[in-house]
Amino acid sequence: MKSMIRNLLVCTALGAVVNLNAQTVTVDPATLTLAYMNWTPTAYTLANYPGGGGTGSSGWSLAAAPATFSGTQLTLSPNVNTYAAGNAYWTNPDGTGANQMDASVYNETTGTYVGTTLTFTGDVLANTFASGYNTYAFIKDFVSNYSSSTTQNILLTTPGVFSISLLTSANVGDHIQYGFETYGPNANPATVAGLGSITIDAAPAPEPTTLALAGLGGAAALSLIRRRKV
């Protein structure tokens, strides 16, 4: 009996340690407030219009990415604010977008999630992106000067819940990011509707039975201790 109680207490203690070193985040308009864009000429531009397109990167607004929230639902779609007919940097002569856009919508903290197993989860409600457009969910752990990073990501394809986890470094100066990256050419606002979008919501709340099981070990241990005292 003593051995059983001891084992249950050990398991409960280990569970508590694991919980303390694990954190979960989801899709939330209060935290996914940053946007950043990288762009390079598309392969099509390089092959057919060598003088077109450009390379650059900068912080952007969510609206320019574009990323829009409706409650907790986030919709990501092809970039249109850079499209400019007659401007070879952004638009090819045949009307296609001249640059491959890499739009990140994310949260960043310094020190908050270091030394933890961080889980990022959400629920893909719909994905109607045309070929050539893709969205990834990611967690990135950057060193203090951003010179290197460790990344975990997943390509979001069909509707359903996704979950990714990354064991972050214990360095308090690390920058932890999580969010979404969408790749694809900049698009003509007049025809962008036909290129689709992706809509992602917060992850569903855990079932009550799941929450109950989380405390089962501790409850069982306490019950056995009480019985032993009687």
In this prediction, residue 20 carries a pLDDT of 57
In this prediction, residue 5 carries a pLDDT of 42
In this prediction, residue 229 carries a pLDDT of 46
In this prediction, residue 205 carries a pLDDT of 83
Domain that holds residue 103: 27-202
> Does a structural domain hold residue 228?
no
In this prediction, residue 2 carries a pLDDT of 52
| Averaged pLDDT, groups of 10, the chain, 230 residues long | 47 45 96 98 97 97 98 98 96 97 98 96 98 98 97 97 98 97 98 97 77 48 45
CATH of the domain at 167: 2.60.120
User: Model confidence over 69-93: pLDDT tens digits?
Assistant: 999 999 999 999 999 999 999 999 9
Domain count for the chain, please give it: 1
Pairing label, strands 22-25, 117-127: parallel
> Does a structural domain hold residue 103?
yes
> Does a structural domain hold residue 65?
yes
β-sheet with 134-142: strand ranges across: 56-60, 34-41, 99-110, 175-185, 134-142, 149-156
> Does a structural domain hold residue 17?
no
> Does a structural domain hold residue 227?
no
